[in-house]
Structure 1
């Protein structure tokens, strides 16, 4: 650990974060529903507490107006606003894709080509494909759970098992999709291209995917005969293919999202799903789905700025890395921090946004490649989010299947394997990537090297 970081910071700077966790968690526990305390309200209340605090020992104490200016600058930080714009574009894309039946076509195409004797691995693969294409775990769970319930009734597989498969597949895409808000948050907070994070992340989760498929293929049921016709139009899949291909070749994500929306609108108009004028309403509807997340991101940015001013970020960084002398220890600290935040907030995106700046500091301090940091943030937050019985994914799956979310939790094998292999790859220090140093790194994807450092 660098000596210039020792002794810096103040625990007082963590008061806004602690206040947020107490407000959010206590309301959810006492009312038995975390929906009773919206994240936006809890963060706003915690921000108010942060604005009321003054940094101890200042020669010239700041005024309330000065702290408000700090808050606004933090919420309007360039990278954060860019992330908000990408959130909105991703919402527009999903709105158009849903309205022109691209989501339905992706699902039905997978079910059509699926061999009946591989129904469970196939269900997981469909969940992976759909969540990767949609960029949302909640949307995937909502779309696939009714199908999974039908499969369970026709095959004799248990409802908790098929629901666990759906949630696992959903978290695959939430972790890796180019239009997932967690991917956007992880890459923007670390200032790296999406394809760089994808290359690191896919290597870390691939063993979990393979082992999960093997375990699912070993499950047996009395009846595996699923004779059903699933209609789809391959043309409707084009916007998803376009988004995936353009993202992989490294095109700017804003161009990718824009082209995805335009292609979806053109196909939707040609197929008569909506008119050209009607597409504007469809786009706006999709954007509104991301409004809460965008506003929350801005509020978190302001709150983090106050925490930084009060010394909370430096204090937390010093405590996390006090006994850490290696990159491995730094990575374990990042994994622990984002995991605890996700367990407390049940929101992997907010966990990444809140811990991203701290993780970036740890990355620069110990020479950890930003690709690995972004992957760790996304992997551990997504893994825990898929296992929390009070998080949205299990609540939706349990509600649609009419089973307890607790009964589903042991069957989300993929998320369990994600956490196991995430920890394993931190401990062995693989895959290795070349650290790029401090400062913005967008567009430097060519420096990424797999292998030795």
Structure 2
């Protein structure tokens, strides 16, 4: 059997440019959801893979390998849908909204919310869990305070991904460390040098926005209406805070994500029966279909009617199709053909960092998977980092500065699709307000060109260099 050859540049570009064209035309001209354009892009990528000599079994293997890497994440997406429905039905989310509206003012909401999401992400190791628990409550509080939902979603994303990056429990953190072959805690320590100052800058911006926004859109009567409506329809008490506290406790005890989230979902269902008088059948229906209720107040119904496995199926199907496309590109060598030769033209450390970060971001959009977006550039540029005598933790940090943070900003990437579905705001709408995710890659590139926070093999620390 004839072996597959390396693709030429134009052959590798055909499926990538084809996908972009199909998505733009499909959405703008025919008002399609992105699923069908991506399926068509998969067909185009498979045709080009056949052209360079790959068999159908090889192409299918690439698709399935890519999807298989994300199976745990897809299961978590479904469980989070169950959890949201369960926590609304039990009164946990209404209680979080009720107490939050009573404690948080518009001026401090944005920085406070970002810090809260960061704490939960550090504890759980998951930006997805943070967004799916406190994130949905913060979105509802923002609605009550009259804050732009896109701004609130950007704040949730910033806080959630800051904590996710610095948590040793995070999947992406472990993948980056493993890809760069660096000890996990060395990797986490290296990330502090760019991620912490980026988060501080983001918090300052959120604080300024909050102060400038003031109480312009704040309507005390609207807040009181929401709180009083919640009290009329739910039995609100402090015990309802136990499910989110359990999630944090489970993370501290390092209980795996799937069983801990399932337990938190079940705890919500139990509380629904105890505190809200739900029947077992009603609770189980909520797991599948989400919470459905009519309070007579439109804004409260909008806040609370959500969740269920069913609500996540659109997102899951999009992620599967997108992963299949990325798997074909990776298996057929198209990504390496497009990006691999560029590294030979890079002369400075600043240029290498820029190339690594930009490659990770591009991979977020064309490979559509956060893990591939870390692994592919990590594998491609490891030798270039070694040749410049750079410590591998500098490589692992750089991979996260780009790929991890921008994964939530691509609509058809699994992270972006999940966050949009969970927070109820489209990815491109919240993108301009996800200040950490935008600032961190830029700051990392600036630091590299200035010779700041660069790690070398000879010294276990930070050394300034002269950049030509």
Decide: shared fold, TM above 0.5.
Answer: yes
Q: Deviations over 1:43-84 (max 9, x none)?
A: 211111122234556xxx4444x245324533443x222222
Higher mean Cα deviation, 130-139 or 324-333?
Answer: 130-139
> Which residue does 2:65 correspond to in 1?
74
> Which residue does 1:281 correspond to in 2?
285
Q: CA deviation at 1:104?
A: 2.5
Change (3 A) 1:324 1:126: same
**Is 1:425 matched with 2:449?**
no
Q: Deviations over 1:259-304 (max 9, x none)?
A: 3222222222211363333332222232233323333333333322
Unaligned runs of 5+ in 2: 121-128, 290-307, 386-391, 464-468
**Is 1:253 matched with 2:271?**
no
> Which residue does 2:79 correspond to in 1?
89
Change (3 A) 1:257 1:205: farther
d(CA) in 2 for partners of 1:253, 1:422: 28
Do 2:19 and 2:37's aligned partners in 1 also have CA atoms closer than 8 Å?
yes
Do 1:102 and 1:237's aligned partners in 2 also have CA atoms closer than 8 Å?
yes
Aligned partner of 1:272 among 270, 276, 290: 276
> Which residue does 2:25 correspond to in 1?
26
Higher mean Cα deviation, 189-198 or 233-242?
Answer: 189-198
Do 2:46 and 2:328's aligned partners in 1 also have CA atoms closer than 8 Å?
yes
Q: CA deviation at 1:22?
A: 0.9
Change (3 A) 1:72 1:217: closer
**Is 1:373 matched with 2:384?**
no
Q: CA deviation at 1:384?
A: 7.9
Do 2:273 and 2:279's aligned partners in 1 also have CA atoms closer than 8 Å?
yes
Q: Deviations over 1:126-184 (max 9, x none)?
A: 476479665259956863453233x7xxxxxxxxxx55642432322553576xxxx98
Aligned partner of 1:311 among 333, 343, 347: 333
Aligned partner of 2:95 among 72, 89, 105: 105
d(CA) in 2 for partners of 1:396, 1:106: 18
d(CA) in 2 for partners of 1:326, 1:314: 21
Compute the TM-score of the two structures, normalised by the length of structure 1.
0.67
Change (3 A) 1:284 1:258: same
Change (3 A) 1:338 1:83: same
RMSD of the alignment, in Å? 4.6
d(CA) in 1 for partners of 2:280, 2:67: 34
Q: CA deviation at 1:225?
A: 8.8
Do 2:176 and 2:396's aligned partners in 1 also have CA atoms closer than 8 Å?
yes
Q: Deviations over 1:161-220 (max 9, x none)?
A: x55642432322553576xxxx98845864879999988476254213431244146427
Aligned partner of 1:37 among 17, 32, 40: 32
Unaligned runs of 5+ in 1: 1-6, 152-161, 399-404, 436-449
d(CA) in 2 for partners of 1:197, 1:140: 32
Map 1:385-396 to 2 at 5 A.
Answer: none
> Which residue does 1:321 correspond to in 2?
343
> Which residue does 2:300 correspond to in 1?
none
Do 2:109 and 2:210's aligned partners in 1 also have CA atoms closer than 8 Å?
no
Report SS of the residue matched to 2:255.
coil
Q: CA deviation at 1:24?
A: 0.5
Aligned partner of 2:41 among 42, 46, 55: 46
> Which residue does 1:125 correspond to in 2?
112
> Which residue does 2:293 correspond to in 1?
none
d(CA) in 2 for partners of 1:52, 1:87: 31
Change (3 A) 1:29 1:335: farther
Higher mean Cα deviation, 7-16 or 296-305?
Answer: 7-16
Do 2:77 and 2:312's aligned partners in 1 also have CA atoms closer than 8 Å?
yes
Do 1:96 and 1:261's aligned partners in 2 also have CA atoms closer than 8 Å?
yes
Aligned partner of 1:168 among 154, 169, 176: 154
Report SS of the residue matched to 1:289.
helix
Aligned partner of 1:361 among 379, 385, 405: 379
Map 1:289-300 to 2 at 5 A.
Answer: 289-300=311-322
> Which residue does 1:447 correspond to in 2?
none
> Which residue does 1:243 correspond to in 2?
247
> Which residue does 1:207 correspond to in 2?
200
Report SS of the residue matched to 2:345.
coil
d(CA) in 2 for partners of 1:240, 1:197: 29
d(CA) in 2 for partners of 1:301, 1:249: 32
Change (3 A) 1:359 1:98: farther
Aligned partner of 1:352 among 367, 370, 373: 370
Q: CA deviation at 1:240?
A: 1.7
Aligned length: 388
Change (3 A) 1:253 1:188: farther
d(CA) in 2 for partners of 1:248, 1:330: 37
Do 2:247 and 2:264's aligned partners in 1 also have CA atoms closer than 8 Å?
yes
Report SS of the residue matched to 2:73.
helix
